[in-house]
Amino acid sequence: MKLIVQIPCYNEAENLADVIMAIPKKIAGIDTIEILVIDDGSTDETIKVATDAGAEHIISNTSNKGLARSFHIGIEHCLKQGADIIVNIDGDNQYRGEDIPQLVTPLINGEGDIIVADRGGYSNPHFSFFKRSLQVFGSFIIRTILGLDIKDAVSGFRAISRSAAQQINIVSEFSYTIEMLVQASAKRLSIKSVPTQTNPKKRESRLFKSIPQFLYLSATTLLRMYTMYRPLRVFFSLGLLALLTGLLPIIRFLNFYLQGDGDGHMQSLILGGTLMTLGLLTLLVGLIADLINFNRKLTEKVLHKMEKLDEKLTDFETRSSSIEGQFQHQSKEQIKTKVIND
């Protein structure tokens, strides 16, 4: 079984060596452990540090593409390299590499598809009270909406099985953490939380400039991704709300009309009719979006099968080349023996 630990980096020359050195060299149940560093357009010596620290794979983006895109690039490379398990860890040394065995063990035992590190919530001594509260409350919201048993929704320290990685397609530009959970929930993948520890904070986050910006980007990402994968539920809820809201002024108008005072309350009838029309249109949009969602699922299923077929063809070509080489070697030896005997 092959494990690849990927590390997305942007100007992490000061911390990267410590991150790589903390990654275990041996884990029970794992035959091979390799390290992939995704340099996201760094302007410092991140690549040199990665090389000196012994990273087996290094990808360098020509420009800063963002964390989500770098994560997706890393996942694709890990799959091409034949990884059975992929662990993502940040380059700022927030997470402890010593905890990687705790993340991968459930995957080795076939007990899940995605394992997310739980940084401890209120018990984490390295986070401020506000950050701990934000983490706990945000995870509760996401857990409630998605129906997942996840304690730390925005933790970037996670292990992913090969099958799950092949089904996850990151399209957002902000962060992969929330989108992965939305997709995993929609695709009924098994997600588990594992308690881990964190190292002391060494720098401020580069993913966002302020807490309000983080909240805005996280909320919009959740809304956009949830609408993308659960369109009927979203549009049906909005359409039903508009219908019920529109029904109230219509009932009000009918009440006055039955009392013989309907002429002075035509505004209620117009408002109610408009809202109910918008509700019906929203329901129709939801049906169309749901049909598009089914089409996307079929496309993803075809792509998944094509990836598996490509893997089988690659494996077949590798074995064929090996057999051909052995055959050619045997043929040359046989010819040599024949010439000597003659």
Claim to verify: residue 68 and residue 202 sit in the same structural domain: yes
pLDDT at 341: 56
pLDDT at 330: 55
For residue 264 the two structure tokens come to 């002075």
For residue 71 the two structure tokens come to 């994560």
Mapped onto helix, strand or coil, the DSSP state of residue 35 is strand
- Rounded average pLDDT over 233-246: 92
Between helix 211-229 and helix 231-258 the angle, nearest 10°, is 90
Claim to verify: residue 157 and residue 306 sit in the same structural domain: no
- Rounded average pLDDT over 164-186: 87
Whether the pLDDT of residue 303 is over 90: the answer is no
Claim to verify: residue 118 and residue 252 sit in the same structural domain: no
User: Do 239 and 207 form a contact (C-beta atoms < 8 A)?
Assistant: no
Segment among 128-142, 206-220, 321-335 with least mean pLDDT: 321-335
Query: How confident is residue 269, by pLDDT bands cut at 50, 70 and 90?
Result: confident
Pairing of strands 114-118, 32-39: unpaired
Domain membership of residue 329 (yes or no) is no
Residue appearing with tokens 């909005």: 238
Claim to verify: residue 17 and residue 107 sit in the same structural domain: yes
Claim to verify: residue 101 and residue 66 sit in the same structural domain: yes
Whether the pLDDT of residue 208 is over 80: the answer is no
Claim to verify: residue 62 and residue 133 sit in the same structural domain: yes
Range of the domain at 284: 231-324
Segment among 149-163, 186-200, 260-274 with least mean pLDDT: 260-274
Claim to verify: residue 202 and residue 56 sit in the same structural domain: yes
How many Å apart are CA 332 and CA 95, to the nearest integer?
Answer: 55
What DSSP letter does each residue of 142-162 carry, written as one string? HHHHHT---S-TT---EEEEH
* Mean model confidence pLDDT for the chain: 85
Query: How confident is residue 337, by pLDDT bands cut at 50, 70 and 90?
Result: low
User: Do 200 and 126 form a contact (C-beta atoms < 8 A)?
Assistant: yes
pLDDT at 326: 59
Domain membership of residue 252 (yes or no) is yes
Domain membership of residue 165 (yes or no) is yes
AA identity, residue 31: D
Claim to verify: residue 85 and residue 129 sit in the same structural domain: yes
pLDDT at 311: 67
Highest mean pLDDT among 25-39, 127-141, 168-182, 295-309: 25-39
Claim to verify: residue 18 and residue 146 sit in the same structural domain: yes
Whether the pLDDT of residue 238 is over 70: the answer is yes
197, 212, 229 - which closes a domain: 229
Q: How many domains does the chain have?
A: 2
- Listed residue (119, 129, 125) closest to 193, CA to CA: 119
- Rounded average pLDDT over 237-244: 92
Over the stretch 71-99, which tens digit does the pLDDT of each residue have?
999 999 999 898 999 999 998 888 999 99
Claim to verify: residue 91 and residue 61 sit in the same structural domain: yes
- Rounded average pLDDT over 104-120: 92
How many Å apart are CA 177 and CA 139, to the nearest integer?
Answer: 11
Claim to verify: residue 202 and residue 236 sit in the same structural domain: no
Percent of the chain predicted with pLDDT > 70 = 88
Query: How confident is residue 314, by pLDDT bands cut at 50, 70 and 90?
Result: low
187, 203, 229 - which closes a domain: 229
Query: How confident is residue 34, by pLDDT bands cut at 50, 70 and 90?
Result: very high
Highest mean pLDDT among 100-114, 120-134, 207-221, 310-324: 100-114
pLDDT at 313: 75
- Rounded average pLDDT over 242-258: 88
pLDDT at 74: 93
Whether the pLDDT of residue 255 is over 60: the answer is yes
Q: Higher-confidence residue: 46 or 296? A: 46
Domain membership of residue 342 (yes or no) is no
Whether the pLDDT of residue 335 is over 50: the answer is no
Domain membership of residue 331 (yes or no) is no
- Rounded average pLDDT over 266-290: 90
Highest mean pLDDT among 63-77, 131-145, 162-176: 63-77
